[in-house]
Structure 1
Amino acid sequence: MIASLPEACDLVVVGSGWFGLGAARAYIQSHPDQRIAVLESNDSVGGTWSEKRLYPGLKSNNMLGSYEFPDFPMKSEIYGVKELGHIPGAFNSTVGLVESTESGWTLTVSSPSGERQFHTKKLILATGLTSTPNIPSYKGAESYGKPFFHAKDFCRRADEVKEAKNAVVIGGAKSAYDVAYAMIESGATVDLVIKPDGNGHVWIAPRKLTPLEHRLDTILNIRALSWFSPCPWGHEDGFGGVRKFLEKTSFGKMLARGFWNVMGNDVLQRNQYDSHPELQKLKPWYSVFWIGSGLSILNYDTSFFDMIRDGKVRVHIENIDYLAPGKVVLENGDELVADAIICSTGWKKESTITFASLDDTGLGLPIDEKEKANLSLEYDTKPNLPRQPKKALEPLRYYRFMVPSGMLAKRNFAFAGMISSVSTAICASTQGLWITAYFDSRLDRETKTQDEVTREIMMHTQWGKWRYPCGYCASLPDFVFEGIPYVDMLLRDMGIRNKRKGSFIKEIFSPYCPEDYDGVLDEYRVKIGVVGE
């Protein structure tokens, strides 16, 4: 609660999702005598998985063993999740203003009990990517007269729609499928509306893929398969020669194309999109190569696609023209009866926190637009990716995707979780420890000069601008097969071994899971001389 916060802290973490908790845990374990606070705008911890955002039937894409902190495993006997089972999703202090001071940061924090300011030496912002919903604006919305809200509030407002006979769900992401499934389970029929000028619908797959029947949630963390995805930090895994072969030689490029074709065709065939005209509308528009971390898993108790075949879900690839009382009118003139409208329309990526007194540091790169444009052109071809006809946005340009370059020397500020990754659990714990090591000036490896920092940031973020145009595109780093090499880079920065398997064969072909990183925090604690619990 806000009333229990100290007047001053050594560290404040804003946000209590995966990345916020991971960052707080790493710092607390390494600094047991310091004063640390975690601020959360919701009234329970967990971010996306906080109690009041858990709508009926919500499950993670991940199965048992791939969605846990390395040294805090989710035991089947405790949590009731069986092998191959999907993990169920079974404070009120909002930071509004952040001001930089000579000795740290002053935060303006509001809560039900009022507003208060207090000071912290170090600050981690882990507000995440799913905090502020993106709700579309439609003509006639004021006259609609029925429940109209974002999927974020589906749990909180579930009672308002439990008697709905027909619901309109807007969007083509996994959350749209989840909401549609839950509404059908409660007795409604659903009109699923997907705009024709977006990225289309989610690539969604069965739990196991490829002729080897490998779990999708772990196949993405196999080193050998990560080689098929071009990435500027890929060499951090120690297999840069293999990557050059696949990216630079004709035969290697042919192998890479074959790999992605196998991945994509396997999903298309198993989902049988061409077996029904409504299912055909959900056939992905772009190759799986370009999709990003939106790749999802069919984790429902019964077949969602059978619901479509049975007419319980009607699919519309169309824009909404306007809303009328109890109706949604599409641009083609179709009128949809709607007892409720639920928007699975993504998230605003800008922070709700206002920064002040940052004129001397700032959150951007310390270069002018001309120099930035020149560096953008230089790194557009590294790696050499074909271009998709998508709008190229301006990326978030932070060192290691965490620290604004102008703040590097101060060692008192970092973002955690400004990435989207299918390896959330692993990336969250590793980012948290890297930030602790950075704050402690304990990184073994660090880019030194401002020019080197700028160039590295531009290389990494310009890659993101083109790699996943059907994912988060340039707005945020998006990792699929790049997550484990990213963790390699952070661990090597800290001087901690990144290859953690017992043999060469396992290192290449066995998927990395959170349990493989059990002991990383203890290795860092030993390194800095912290002993005991």
Structure 2
Amino acid sequence: MKIAVVGAGFAGLASAKVLREFGHDVTVLDKAPDVGGVWSASRRYSGLTTQNNKGSYAFSDLPMPKDYPEWPSGEQVQAYLERYVDLHDLRGSLRLSTEVVRAELTPAEDGWSVTARRTGEPVGEPERFDHVVVANGIFSDPVIPRFEGLAQLLRAGGKVVASSQLTSLEDARGKHVVVVGYGKSACDVAAEIAPVAASTQVVARHLLWKLPKRLGNALNYKYLLLTRMGEGLFRYETLSGGVEKFLHGPGDGVRRSMLASVGAVSVKQFRLKELGLVPRGEFADIARSTVSLATDSFFEQVSEGRIDVHRESEIERFAVDDDGAPVAVLDDGTTVRADLVVCGTGFHQRVPFLDDDLQARLLDDRGNFQLYRQVLPQDVPHLTFAGYNSSLFSPLSAEVAALWTAAHLAGAVDVPPVEERRELVASRVDWMEKRTEGKHARGTNVIPFSLHQIDEMLTDLDLQLPAATRAGQWLLPVDPKAYRHLPGRLRERIG
């Protein structure tokens, strides 16, 4: 088939590599000038590092370089992806600096007409493809709130950007900065700019639990969370196996005690009580929608007074002070200088190059994506998704989803009838929405249940890992190399 992959991040590159191995003619289109998605030089914020350690945040056939630090920088991850492109000779399949403007089903709905525009050039002629893979990223389209008084702020010389748009420390040097949010990007940005900014104010509507990279400054968190045991501490939609049934049955007290002890270590290690930054609820809430590692030096800088955190606060409006300087007025009446406002306030999950009718066919009445296995839509033919299964093992999840797509295109996946799929997906999304209190990225966020989702796809493909390997993953961090033989095994099956 002639296949268009929209997006050149982890998911798009994995899709291109796998689909080419299965004999397809693949074109990867991305509006950025380089590969990487969120790791592109055009989009990564200053101070960006991985949340995963380098051992787990990698493709199965290409470990991160040995000389990389435990948590690689954004620049290093992008360089790693360039290496992946060269390893698999993908360079000729890439069309970078090329934005997909529109993708339309052909009149007979037997393929796609894709219209793209290269940066600085007019819109090109439509091109026919047999299949489209949507890999545009669920963290690629930042949300910037509609602030009252924004025009006043801008007239006074203030500026509002998303965290992904703050690509240089010089943009914050000597300025009074307000960072909105308390997730990974917000805390990363605050910690990075605080040493050079005139002041750094973090406005956090909700405090999130943060996990230390090293518990007690000793135990790497990967031994806790990047294992099947770590995932099993949180209740999945359906319990599988004796360990999970024990942990969420007779052993529930043990499970709760384990999570509470990690929470107690975090509170003590970061001195959260002294700083007045203990989040509400239980530490188990850390996995409600996403798992956030603590940013290096963030709490230390709060303690030193370089960063001020306004907990459970929001910006009510922007204004100017008596000297004509831009300020942010918080909902508790506090006023802070706001030369630069950085928003770490989440992302839109949408497919802008599809028309309204096609997008409506992808979503339920609440705007959630209805994707079987996070890959296959119910009502749009010749279309699959990649990377719409945000997880703790994004590269590995992307690879397995690409294998699932390859098998599906070969007719080698026994998918349920469409009505049964609708019911299964609707049930899954309802469960996700309830457990995350609506913070499930429109049905695309499977954290912390990465391995459950990978297992489900591999079961469909009859490619499960040996029982001994899976057993080892209960206590040791998952090593992507354990999955490196799967493409070959699938090719043997399909023939």
TM range (shorter): 0.7 to 0.9
Displacement after TM superposition at 1:217 (Å)? 3.8
Q: Distance in 1 between matches of 2:223 and 2:102?
A: 40
Q: Distance in 1 between matches of 2:133 and 2:479?
A: 25
* Cα gap change, 1:11 to 1:503, in 2 (>3 Å): closer
CA-to-aligned-CA distance 1:93-114 (integer Å, 9 cap, x gap): 2223221123311112123211
Residue of 431, 441, 451 corresponding to 1:463? 431
Name the amino acid aligned to 1:136.
P
Residue of 66, 73, 90 corresponding to 1:88? 73
The reply to whether residue 27 of structure 1 matches residue 19 of structure 2 is: yes
Q: Distance in 2 between matches of 1:364 and 1:142?
A: 34
Name the amino acid aligned to 1:406.
D
Q: Distance in 2 between matches of 1:476 and 1:352?
A: 17
Q: Distance in 2 between matches of 1:260 and 1:518?
A: 32
Displacement after TM superposition at 1:134 (Å)? 0.6
Q: List structure 1 segments (4+ residues) > 6 angstroms apart after TM superposition.
A: none
Q: Distance in 1 between matches of 2:481 and 2:216?
A: 24
Displacement after TM superposition at 1:187 (Å)? 4.3
Counterpart for residue 164 of structure 2 = 152
CA-to-aligned-CA distance 1:148-174 (integer Å, 9 cap, x gap): 21111000x65433342x211111111
Q: Check the 8 A contact 2:209/2:285 in 1, yes or no.
A: no
Q: Check the 8 A contact 1:465/1:474 in 2, yes or no.
A: no
Counterpart for residue 162 of structure 1 = 173
Q: Check the 8 A contact 1:132/1:348 in 2, yes or no.
A: yes
Q: Distance in 2 between matches of 1:223 and 1:432?
A: 22
Q: Check the 8 A contact 1:99/1:357 in 2, yes or no.
A: no
Displacement after TM superposition at 1:307 (Å)? 0.8
Counterpart for residue 351 of structure 2 = 351
Counterpart for residue 498 of structure 1 = 465
Displacement after TM superposition at 1:497 (Å)? 2.3
Q: Distance in 2 between matches of 1:227 and 1:333?
A: 43
The reply to whether residue 177 of structure 1 matches residue 187 of structure 2 is: yes
Residue of 381, 403, 407 corresponding to 2:376? 403
Q: Check the 8 A contact 1:98/1:105 in 2, yes or no.
A: yes
Q: Distance in 2 between matches of 1:320 and 1:287?
A: 26
Displacement after TM superposition at 1:358 (Å)? 4.8
CA-to-aligned-CA distance 1:248-283 (integer Å, 9 cap, x gap): x4x2333333333233333223222012xxx21x32
Displacement after TM superposition at 1:500 (Å)? 6.6
CA-to-aligned-CA distance 1:133-192 (integer Å, 9 cap, x gap): 11112222112122221111000x65433342x211111111111111111132432011
Counterpart for residue 142 of structure 1 = 151
Query: What's the secondary structure of 1:322's corresponding residue?
Result: strand
CA-to-aligned-CA distance 1:484-504 (integer Å, 9 cap, x gap): 121111111111123475584
Displacement after TM superposition at 1:396 (Å)? 2.1
Q: Distance in 2 between matches of 1:214 and 1:423?
A: 20
Q: Distance in 1 between matches of 2:305 and 2:409?
A: 56
Displacement after TM superposition at 1:321 (Å)? 2.2
Displacement after TM superposition at 1:214 (Å)? 4.4
Counterpart for residue 133 of structure 2 = 124
Displacement after TM superposition at 1:39 (Å)? 0.8
* Cα gap change, 1:480 to 1:283, in 2 (>3 Å): same
Residue of 276, 279, 285 corresponding to 1:290? 285
Equivalent residues, number: 461
Displacement after TM superposition at 1:480 (Å)? 3.4
Query: What's the secondary structure of 2:72's corresponding residue?
Result: strand
Residue of 202, 205, 217 corresponding to 1:192? 202
Residue of 237, 250, 257 corresponding to 1:232? 237
Identity score, percent:
25
Q: Distance in 2 between matches of 1:87 and 1:466?
A: 34
Question: What's the RMSD between the two structures over aligned residues?
Answer: 2.5
Counterpart for residue 209 of structure 2 = 203
Q: Check the 8 A contact 2:34/2:41 in 1, yes or no.
A: yes
CA-to-aligned-CA distance 1:309-365 (integer Å, 9 cap, x gap): 111111113222221242112233322112211111111123322237759x93246
* Cα gap change, 1:474 to 1:171, in 2 (>3 Å): closer
Q: Distance in 2 between matches of 1:252 and 1:245?
A: 5
The reply to whether residue 38 of structure 1 matches residue 46 of structure 2 is: no
Q: Check the 8 A contact 2:349/2:441 in 1, yes or no.
A: no
Q: Distance in 2 between matches of 1:426 and 1:243?
A: 23
* Cα gap change, 1:335 to 1:401, in 2 (>3 Å): same
Displacement after TM superposition at 1:27 (Å)? 0.6
Counterpart for residue 307 of structure 2 = 313
* Cα gap change, 1:217 to 1:21, in 2 (>3 Å): farther
Residue of 474, 480, 492 corresponding to 2:447? 480
Name the amino acid aligned to 2:478.
Y
Q: Note the residue ranges of structure 1 that are not aligned, 5 or more in a row.
A: 1-8, 370-392
Counterpart for residue 243 of structure 1 = 244
* Cα gap change, 1:288 to 1:521, in 2 (>3 Å): farther
Displacement after TM superposition at 1:449 (Å)? 2.3
The reply to whether residue 61 of structure 1 matches residue 51 of structure 2 is: yes
Displacement after TM superposition at 1:129 (Å)? 1.1
